[in-house]
Amino acid sequence: MHPRTTTRRTFAQTLARAVLTPVLVVGGAAAGYAGGAAAVAAGLLPGAGILDSQVQDGPDAGSPDTLFAAHDCWTGEADLPPDLRGRRPGHVIVTPAPTRRTPHPRPTYSAGLVDEALDHVFGTDRHPGMTVHAFCR
């Protein structure tokens, strides 16, 4: 018969494990959250454009005309400022498609939704439920 061997942890090992494990778990979760938020802000993940959006509030809420008047926007070739011909718009006024979280979306002024709006209006990638009201500087 072999003598029974047991491994004993020292107090320092036990303390290190008790302290380091939660620190590493919380630190890893925080790093993952920060990385995900950065990816959304950079437009690499869905949700891009939401972080920089401005939604209307007040008595005229729900009217894209209020946002249109507040920003330098255009709705067609005739309204396009001459210095922006052939250039990508900086912002868009759009009413996003309804979702479970926002079943009744409101008009939004956004820089992050410009590519999606350009695809919707001029490209082949249509986004059901989305309404593009205007492009802006």
| pLDDT bucket at 50, cuts 50 / 70 / 90 | very low
pLDDT tens digits, residue range 2-29?
566 556 778 877 777 777 777 777 777 7
Please give the sequence-ordered ranges of beta strands (E in DSSP) within 11-115, or none if there are none. 54-55, 73-74, 91-95, 108-110
**20: its two tokens:** 């380091």
pTM of the model: 0.55
* Contact criterion met (CB below 8 Å) for 77 and 71: no
What's the residue count for the chain?
Answer: 137
Pairwise CA distance, residues 65 & 133, whole Å: 9
Pairwise CA distance, residues 109 & 99, whole Å: 18
Pairwise CA distance, residues 95 & 79, whole Å: 20
